Amino acid sequence: MSASLSGHLGQRFDVAIRILIGLLLLVLSVYGIFHGIRASLAQAIYHYVKYGAGSKVVEDLRATFRRCQDSFRLYPYGYYLCIWTAEKAYYGRFGPNGKEVPERLEAARLWCERGLELNYYKSQLRRLKTRLLARESLPDAIEYWGKYVDWQFWEPYNHAVLVEMYAEAGDLNNALESLVWVEGSEYYEEASRKFDEAWKKEMVPP
């Protein structure tokens, strides 16, 4: 009698475990479907503003940023959305009168930081953050980009950016050292020109 009861309880326990596992799988499936729908909608919005009819409304950046915000709210893991929106805001920061629009610069900073939180080593985001930093403090921008160059050292473009910033800061020694690592690349001519301009400027007596 005892063995029979024990067996019966064991069977009921197995059934309960299977039901719990089934419910868990059901919940995960529903969550996966819900997550997939949100991600698909977010991607559709991103595609619309970047490649579709929304990309043609370049003058209405506010509407574009609102749609990008909707996409990010649905799926806050797409750093390519952050890159595109940040660059759209930064390089489109000038209004019809030729003056910078503070709202667009702020949007560039916001989306750049969002993207960096998702992918800290993405070159487009690090480069844009450097540009934004240089507007306030060139030494801080050089230090920030220099850390990235240490990590991605063998990319000539990274050194070309350093040449540009060192030249702008009047630090010709470091600019020349960075220029050596650009030689032989497609970026050398432009980097060399910026170094020469800085050198000529330094040679002009006050």
**Domain assignments of the chain as residue spans, ordered by start:** 1-122, 137-206
Q: For residues 43 and 151, give the distance between their C-alpha atoms in angstroms, rounded to a whole number.
A: 31
- Report yes or no: 178 and 166 within 8 Å, Cβ to Cβ: yes
Interval 154-206: pLDDT, tens: 999 999 999 999 999 999 999 999 999 999 999 999 999 999 999 988 876 55
Q: Average the pLDDT over each of 45-49, 98-102, 107-111, 184-188 and give the range with the smallest value.
A: 45-49
CATH class of 137-206: mainly alpha
**pTM attached to this predicted model:** 0.78
Contact (CB, 8 A) for 125 and 112 = yes
**pLDDT reported for residue 104:** 92
Residues shown for the chain: 206
pLDDT score of 206: 54
**Rounded CA gap, 34 and 102, in Å?**
37
Per-chain mean pLDDT for the chain? 86
Q: How far is CA 98 from the centre of its chain?
A: 26
CA–CA distance from 189 to each of 25, 108, 138, 182 (Å)?
60, 29, 23, 9
